[in-house]
Structure 1
């Protein structure tokens, strides 16, 4: 695996931060977050930069790093085994070359992405634990 574990761990945190966001459920939000019990922190708003920052990080990666992230998804969700890493990377590169959907968009469409990357790392014998 060519991508640094710390980069994957940063992306796991970002992906999990996006996963916990939900649509607006409190249209009459109070002026003080305490009034709303702090629930607005988990609401995705138009000025929320979380998803945009995630996209920027993904777009800033080189081709090999993006392929590794996609391959980790395949491993993490059980589509492929760690022993098939080179095949997973090859499929990831084919997916990128097909240019069907930008990698960041594809990744953001995967439910529980952070958990899948976590599981993929564990299967590859790596961890975000210090």
Structure 2
């Protein structure tokens, strides 16, 4: 039987990141970067676009940068596990590779990963956690 690894990052932190990542994942490319119109004039479509000053991006970046190095490594390893770079039996190798690749751009790297929220959820599921364990209370 496979031993489930202990994570340096808490369930609450993963839940917050997963929730914000899902909000960020739905963002679309900017279609009118020089729009001078009021958001209400364009049907509020600009809130669904990935602008550099987007509050979801800003908050998600701050959360990830606020993690210590071990928590950031676990987060990257969870994303890699969830995207299919191995399975639970490969956790130590995946985590070791995440540690080797770790740098000061973890937030930017993760925000550049399409489907980050899905990958994190899948990684947690593979480690024996149900998605309900990580839901934020309403």
What range describes the TM-score normalised by the shorter chain of this pair? 0.7 to 0.9
Number of residue-to-residue matches in the alignment: 126
Aligned to 2:101: 95
The TM-score normalised by the length of structure 2 is: 0.78
Shift, 1:43, TM fit: 2.2
Q: Does 1:121 align with 2:131?
A: no
Partner residue of 1:10?
16
Q: Distance in 2 between matches of 1:47 and 1:93?
A: 29
Q: Residues of 2 paired with 1:102 and 1:46: CA distance?
A: 16
Please tell me whether residue 60 in structure 1 is matched to residue 66 in structure 2: yes
Cα distance in 2 for partners of 1:28, 1:95 equals 38
Gaps in structure 2 of 5+ consecutive residues: 1-6, 134-138
CA shift for structure 1 position 30: 6.4
Is the Cα contact below 8 Å between 1:73 and 1:120 reproduced in 2?
A: yes
Answer whether contact 2:39 2:46 (CA < 8 A) is retained. no
**When the two structures are superposed, what TM-score results if normalisation uses the length of structure 1?**
0.82
1:115 CA drift (Å): 0.4
- Following superposition, the deviation at residue 75 of structure 1 comes to 0.9
Gaps of 5+ in 1: none
CA drift of 1:129 comes to 0.9
Residues 1:25 and 1:65: Cα distance change in structure 2 (over 3 Å): same
The RMSD of aligned alpha carbons is 2.2
